[in-house]
Chain A
Amino acid sequence: MLDFEELPYAEWGNEEVAEQPIYSGYAQYGLYSVICDRFVITYYDPSILVPLSKILSSRCRLDLCRLDTASNYTPGLLDNNCCLGWTMNEKLSFTRFPDFNKPVTHPGLLIEKNMLTDDLLVSDRQSFIFALHCVIKLEHHVNELYKASSVMQDLVFGDTLDLSKSTDYIYEAAKTLQDSIYRILYTTHNFNEMTQKIQRIIDQYDNTELTIRIK
């Protein structure tokens, strides 16, 4: 019996992540779960998957793999609707920490396996991973908006056009915003509490350009 105490993550972002398009010609990455022995999420942008695997590192081990290095890979071969039906054929040392920044690449990387039929625990946790994926994407988006709008404000309203100084400040503030959000993702397990805390952080920036609301 599943315990959905961390709801509403199960619905949050599931559809969006599952239906991500596969871009032909783009690299495709995936996070492989050692415990599930399956890929739990795929995406084309490692700058989202790397923080995702780091944020989840105290909860489950996820290894970053570059799926398009597999000899049997074709665009559309696996996506987030079916990645639980794929496993990795590369030997890993399960007892050592994964290298977050170095994806596993190998021609024999991908092997199809039976889709899960009864392991609800895995699909439950996959939903949580999808939801975190959406939050990290949102954080990137907020950060970019903040940087862009701050530069604009500085250009229009600033007393000085010493851009090197103001840009440093803006990037430092953006990094602080990112660190704050990642800290919440890392330490908070209740999803409602997590999203509320992040919303409060974003609100603190009090920027009229930031009209994003967390669902």
Chain B
Amino acid sequence: MTTQNLLYASNKLKPKGLDIELATKWLMFNSSKHIQSPRVGVAPNPWNIKEIPGHAMPVFVPYAASFSETTDLQAIALQKQFGDNDLPIVVFWSGGIDSTVALAAMIKNFHTSMLDRVVVQMNEASYFENPVFFDKVIRNKIKYASSSYEYTQYNIVHGKMADPLWVRCEIVEFYKHYPEIIGKEIQRNPDILINAIARENCWGTNNPVGKESAIWYYETIIHNAKSAGYDIMDCEDFYWWWNFNFCFSHQKWDLLGYEDITNSTVFNNKIYMEHVISWFDSKEYQLWSMNNRSNGVKIKSTIRSYKMPAKEYIYDLDNNKWYRDYKTKTGSGLANEKNKEVLAVYDNDEIIYA
């Protein structure tokens, strides 16, 4: 009998024969529907989720390219990859920052013939989130649609996996409500962060996390970083590491429950991995992220500055000052609705739906 290794788990997947208390504690800090698991370092892993084969965290090396340069490099690399087939390139565009960066990069870098293959998959919500980009950049220039696709017939591009490259977005709320933690070396004075975490509510509830759980959580993340050779500096670094190490992988499957997927006659994780490409899933993007820790590039203590290099990249194309200066992180959806919940993905390509 072949042993299956779990690659992805929804927070509705009950752990079998595991420490329920530990699993419950771990779930308290999940601010999403996924179970978070570390890519590197020592940490509790109640569901024993494995790393995605071929998607390990790169070893740190100095990397000097800017976000903009890295994005252009990714466009050139993907253009080469798309040259291997002649399938249409469907970009899931929500109008949010990440998917707009992907689309902007294609427009800036793709050859005309490659751009002719691009179809923007969008809906009304995409337009309402970014009408200027649609009117200035997409309308009358690029094909767009709101329809269903048989995934095996297309290259699908999405903007997921961007958030873990930045800093966990909760930091913008922390910076407003606990400004005293900005830039502080937290390991010398951990109470300042622990107290802030303790006052926050557990995910999906009105119950504060509490001091004891906050300490457990703080120590878990710090210990994990140390065991992987990273020394956490300040609050931004803390939230970056949590995001980058614990939340990067599972976003790979964020499109798995979308209706197009489940309408496919033959579908498994192998087909998904071959046809669905995250724009931000590259070694270079990760190195950019690892080389820009707490240096004011990802956020400069204000909400406005969050993801500013990405917003500037878009501004370069559409000159929309409002979007650059006032766009906030929002929980934007992709063009299609999910109609099935994914419980688990295994390394033998099996997908279990709820």
Contacts and interface: CB of A to CB of B under 8 A. Distances in A.
A58 B128 contact: yes
A155 to B, nearest CB: 40
Interface in B290-326: 302-304, 320-323, 325-326
Contacts of A97: 330-331
A95 B330 contact: yes
Interface residues of A, number: 22
Interface in A10-51: 33-35, 37
A61 B325 CA distance: 11
B131 interface: yes
A57 interface: yes
B198 interface: no
A92 to B, nearest CB: 8
Interface of chain B: mostly helix, strand, loop or mixed: helix
B132 A58 contact: yes
Nearest to A87: B176
A153 interface: no
Interface in A156-205: 186-187, 189
A95 B326 contact: no
Contact of A95 (B129, B321, B331): B331
A95 B328 CA distance: 8
B258 to A, nearest CB: 21
Contacts of B173: 91-94
Contacts of A37: 176, 302-303
B167 to A, nearest CB: 13
Contacts of B176: 37
B135 A59 contact: no
A95 B169 contact: yes
A94 B172 contact: yes
Given A37-B176, A58-B129, A94 B325 contact: no
Interface string B116-139: 000000000000111110010000
B303 A35 contact: yes
Interface string A71-92: 0000000000000000000011
Contacts of A33: 326
30 contacts: A33-B326, A35-B304, A37-B176, A57-B128, A58-B128, A58-B129, A58-B131, A58-B132, A59-B323, A59-B326, A61-B330, A91-B173, A91-B177, A94-B172, A94-B173, A95-B169, A95-B170, A95-B328, A95-B329, A95-B330, A95-B331, A96-B330, A96-B331, A97-B330, A97-B331, A121-B325, A125-B326, A186-B131, A187-B131, A189-B132
Given A35-B303, A60-B327, 19 more contacts: A3-B321, A33-B326, A34-B303, A34-B328, A35-B326, A37-B302, A37-B303, A58-B129, A58-B132, A58-B322, A60-B322, A61-B328, A91-B177, A94-B172, A94-B173, A94-B303, A95-B329, A96-B331, A186-B131
Interface of B: 128-132, 135, 169-170, 172-173, 176-177, 302-304, 320-323, 325-331
